[in-house]
């Protein structure tokens, strides 16, 4: 089973409309997985080589790209004397 199977099946289900909303309007948070509720995306644009290297490192470490990014952000915060968040 794909690790994205649960996300695909959630997207396939229509979300109930909020009270007072028109029937054809979708709730903006309806498609957001619970793990992402209350969180913000942080992204950047890098070369295909950087992307490939990061994905390979995550695979080698048995980790996710998000976990590696969290580790890198914590290291960056420590470098500049800030408190790391430790959020993965």
What residue segments make up the domains of the chain, in order of their start? 41-88
Q: Is the CB of residue 68 less than 8 Å from the CB of residue 54?
A: yes
Q: What are phi and psi of 46, to 5 degrees?
A: -135, 170
Say what the pLDDT of residue 57 is: 98
Task: Compute the mean pLDDT over every residue in the chain, rounded to the nearest whole number.
Answer: 80
Distance, CA of 23 to CA of 82 (rounded, Å): 47
pTM of the model: 0.59
Q: Is the CB of residue 68 less than 8 Å from the CB of residue 57?
A: yes
Say what the pLDDT of residue 10 is: 56
More confident position, 3 or 43: 43
Say what the pLDDT of residue 69 is: 94
Helix (H, G, I), strand (E, B) or coil at 1: coil
Say what the pLDDT of residue 6 is: 59
Tens of pLDDT, residue by residue over 60-79, are 999 999 999 999 999 999 99
């Amino acid at each position: 089973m794909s690790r994205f199977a649960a996300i695909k099946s959630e997207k396939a289900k229509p979300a109930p409309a909020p009270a007072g909303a028109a029937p054809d309007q979708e709730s903006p948070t309806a498609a957001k997985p619970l793990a992402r509720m209350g969180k913000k995306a942080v992204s950047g644009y890098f070369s295909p080589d950087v992307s490939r290297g990061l994905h390979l490192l995550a695979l080698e470490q048995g980790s996710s790209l998000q976990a590696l990014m969290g580790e890198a952000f914590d290291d960056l915060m420590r470098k500049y004397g800030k408190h790391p968040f430790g959020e993965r």
